[in-house]
Structure 1
Amino acid sequence: MLKARIITTMLWNGSTLVKGNKFENEKRSAGSPLTTVKIYNSRDVDEILFFDISRNNKIIDKDFILSITDCVSVPITIGGGIEKISQMNDLFEYGADKVAINSIIYKNPNIIDEASKRFGSQAITVSIDVRKNNQNYECYYDLGKIKSDRKLNDLLVECVNRGAGEIVINCINNDGLMKGYDNELIQQTSSLANIPIVASGGAGSYEHFYEAYKNGADAFAAASIYHFTEHTPAKAKKYLLKKKVPIRENFIIE
């Protein structure tokens, strides 16, 4: 049985870490990337999701990426603006364990096939941003600015068939609100994709992790709950352990 993972999400705007609200007003500073990575690396997270949202990242900054990956002892997934196999190759060379792709899957879905064949499916994460409009789930890209004509269900099945190793399913409506994940979205995603599902967007309590787990999530990505409250990954693991959720039990005593 796969053990559930506790993941922290970091958004880098080119000068600082930020945290948005429904993908808007991403102006709340969340600190220095190096300091924050070091903190979470010591707080028993299982993985780190690091997204560059600056859109100034066509060329991978070797020194910056190395400064991040050299600080971590847990797996780190890096994404944001990735459109070429060469960018992925650079990220892996500079220490990334996985890469996350988003917008490019709508323009060039073949990149999933190419990447999974070259680097292995386990190293390729597809991140899908979804907004609920009139009871329908619609896919968006380019930081949630552009609505795609792709149907969510079809897109999920295609990503799996093309070789994606896991799916990060992010609810734009819930992003940053800390009122809980969209469990209906998680359930729908997990029923269609027979690969690990990472819930994202809206976590504000440990109970939200448990609810996501019950609806099919294999991992729980969160940011605000850690940045702006006293909740910690270690305490989240203790909570989930009491709920009989299989987790990695190497948590730090607090």
Structure 2
Amino acid sequence: MITKRIIPCLDVEGGRVVKGVNFVNLKDVGDPVEIAEFYNKEGADELVFLDINATNEKRKTMIEVIKKTAEKVSIPFTVGGGIRTIEDIREVLKAGADKVSINSAAIKNTELISEAANKFGSQCIVVAVDAISRKDDSGWNVVINGGRIDTNIDLIQWVKKVEKLGAGEILLTSKDADGTKNGYDINMTKAVAQAVNIPVIASGGCGKLEDFKQVFSETNVDAALAASIFHYRELSIKEVKEYLMNNGISARV
């Protein structure tokens, strides 16, 4: 049985961890390096840092965060946000990140995925995909720029293409569910996990223990990502893993 990964997500803005609902109304949560160190000790399997309003100035801030985090944690971590070029990817990996997540840039320049996979290896190239449900409930569209722009690209077609281009993993976020604590978007997550053979990380909407069980029981995802419930100490990673194990779902202890 494949063990499932539990991954806290740290949204970073201006060198601080923040959290919002549906990608807006952001609140300060704390220092990213301190929070990363805490999750490392708590038993997180991996971490994801997302530089949510990345600009050239904040990229410098994020590089410092990556370097300091690499010194403090022993678990793998992924960094995304504002990564547009091969040089950006090289800089983030050189600073100490294990994987790089690309999102909007992958849509605008699909060759970036294949070029990055060829240069650095598929295992460290994560394509982050944010999606919303279409109004007619016929499926889902990919959104970019923090969920502000609907690309009108079909989600399932996009994840299949991403896999063919060489991505090693997909970080799937439901914009509709993000920050709501009403649970993961099971239908969307299930459809994506069935469409590809590479690992899928479910993200957006986790609010209670049962949400972890549901996403692992009803979909074929490899990992579940959460933010608010961990940042605000509503649940500990240990609690989540013990709950999963008690419910027949293999988690890394």
| TM-score, with length taken from structure 2 | 0.94
Is the partner of 2:181 in helix, strand or coil?
A: coil
Q: Contact (CA 8 Å) 2:23, 2:175: kept in 1 or not?
A: yes
Is the partner of 1:131 in helix, strand or coil?
A: strand
Corresponding residue of 2:155:
152
Change (3 A) 1:18 1:145: same
Corresponding residue of 1:36:
35
Structure 2 residue 6 is the aligned partner of structure 1 residue 6: yes
Is the partner of 1:148 in helix, strand or coil?
A: strand
Corresponding residue of 2:145:
142
Change (3 A) 1:38 1:59: closer
Change (3 A) 1:59 1:18: closer
**180-189 vs 144-153, greater mean Cα deviation:** 144-153
| TM-score, with length taken from structure 1 | 0.94
Corresponding residue of 2:87:
86
Is the partner of 2:6 in helix, strand or coil?
A: strand
RMSD: 1.4
Structure 2 residue 171 is the aligned partner of structure 1 residue 172: no
| Cα distance per residue 1:78-130 (max 9 Å; x no partner) | 00010001111111111100000000111101111011111111111010001
Distance 1:15 1:75 in 2: 20
Distance 2:177 2:204 in 1: 5
Distance 2:2 2:116 in 1: 24
Q: Contact (CA 8 Å) 1:14, 1:56: kept in 2 or not?
A: no
Structure 2 residue 201 is the aligned partner of structure 1 residue 198: yes
**Structure 1: tracts of 5 or more residues without a match:** 250-254
Q: Contact (CA 8 Å) 1:58, 1:82: kept in 2 or not?
A: no
Q: Contact (CA 8 Å) 2:14, 2:58: kept in 1 or not?
A: no
- Residues 1-254 of structure 1: matches in 2 within 5 Å? 1-26=1-26, 28-57=27-56, 60-61=59-60, 62-134=63-135, 135=137, 136-214=139-217, 215-249=219-253
Distance 2:4 2:241 in 1: 9
Higher helix share: 2
Q: Contact (CA 8 Å) 1:60, 1:91: kept in 2 or not?
A: no
Distance 1:66 1:124 in 2: 19
Distance 1:150 1:227 in 2: 33
| Cα distance per residue 1:52-79 (max 9 Å; x no partner) | 1122247842433211221211000000
Distance 1:58 1:129 in 2: 25
Change (3 A) 1:104 1:69: same
Distance 1:82 1:59 in 2: 12
Distance 2:92 2:239 in 1: 31
> How far did residue 230 of structure 1 move?
2.8
Identity within the alignment, %: 34
> How far did residue 15 of structure 1 move?
3.7
Distance 1:29 1:222 in 2: 16
Is the partner of 1:74 in helix, strand or coil?
A: coil
**206-215 vs 99-108, greater mean Cα deviation:** 206-215
Change (3 A) 1:101 1:241: same
Distance 1:231 1:72 in 2: 21
Q: Contact (CA 8 Å) 2:32, 2:65: kept in 1 or not?
A: no
